Structure 1
Amino acid sequence: MGTFGTDPFSSDGAMDFLEELAEQPPDGRAAELERLFLLVRNQPDLLGREFFPDEVVAAAAIVAATLPFGRQFSERLESLAENDLAPDVRLGAPAPRLASIAREALLFVAGPWQQGWVDDTDAAEARDTIAELSRVLAGGGLDELDHIWNEATDSGADGEMPEGTPPGIEHLASLLRVYNSAMSGGLGFALEVNEPFHVRRAINALRYFGLTETASFVEEALNGESPGDAFFAPVDHGIDPIGRAFRTKAAEFPTDFGRA
């Protein structure tokens, strides 16, 4: 059985990617990373054939290692090299121009990459890895919407919303509760661990955010009319669909999210 962990470099696929990248001359490695990120952007249907989530996560972490706030990823690469576990593929110079496209690629594979964990602790660590990489690639800071997202994630996990919570945040929390369960173990698992009223709230939230196709699919699954395995096709189509829908809605209706 292959090795697969929640660190960006803890899987066999990631380690193989480091080996392949090391075959490139040092001054050509940034271009090779860019080629991979462009492949993810321009041909996302090749996921699972020409590129794999663990490779993209590792590639994004290599870029993050060159950026402010990305020291932990640089130290991890250094440790792997010092212990002869992997070649040293750290880039010779900061690569801020790759940060944006690396983050796009990372967010595209985040869902599939996180589907492999059924243990709650591992699933949480995997989400933290993606979140940390995303923050570093975005410049290290959290904006107001990032804070709203994180608060909604916590509230969704708790299952309780404080009185007076703005409606947009309530919808986001309801959606993330079920979505994160699905990312951990599939839609069937999410339907099993969440009571039906929680799932119906998530369905309403999907419609609120304009993700009507996915809302209909989840509703059919809740009613036993469709298999849960196909959930990831509509919900993971494109780059970070829920995040984009959330930011679009927050821009259109800021008061729904407690913003002036």
Structure 2
Amino acid sequence: MRLDVTPHGAAECSIALRDGDRWFDLMAFDDRQPHWTTIANIAGVIPRGALLPRSRGLEIARMAATDGPGALRAAHDWRPVPTWVSDRGAYLVRDIAEALVDQAGDELMRIVRHEDRAGHLPAGVRRLAYLLGVHNKAMSSGLGSALTDTPAEWWGEAISACDELGLTDVAALLRRLDPKEPDVELTKGLYSEYIHLTSVGAWHGDDAMRTALRRRVEQAPREYGVHEMPPPPPTARYDELLPTGSSAFLRSLAELAEH
């Protein structure tokens, strides 16, 4: 078992426990209404009933340090975390677009290593992985490198992903380029347009791909393995959500982890 204690704002925290291959939220009271917050400076959704006063969170963390996480499992009420939530090791990613991009990134690495996992992941996530491969290469090394380094089949899958997400202008741009007969000079002329089309999303902190992904998952959640659809992002700016803050609280958690 693994325990995750996450601060929210200046006075609250939440506690999640990994038991086997599933995460569970500790529920302080029975309120499953979604609450937007920030986790490691990434926006995300947790049940409102999972918010605890920080003093109570530290008390529970001390109990876990003394008696082990198993004692917590028996002593409190827990609710399964949605399966789409991504585990980054140090924290959980509870924003659906960011979490699905994480899944697609993991799948991309398996594709690059030629690990055959067809059928093991939702089709939407697998197609997103091909798009992510093209996009990451274009953003880091230029559209020319993306074109010359991407197999034609993968390029076609990336275009299909753009079509699926409603990124029609991006799909049209990619169709002008042929990885079988790469025209690097053409990519130089198209690169600024590609940046313009993919950079800005509808919500602060999003790029166009993440905004399109949110919209598509809402339309066809099962394509991405989503069974519990979170609410849309708040209308407030990303940086107006409560910061996780408080170095004193984080130091207390670090001290517990050392013991």
Q: Pick the TM interval, shorter chain.
A: 0.3 to 0.5
Kindly indicate whether structure 1 or structure 2 has the higher relative contact order, using CA contacts under 8 Å at least 6 residues apart.
2
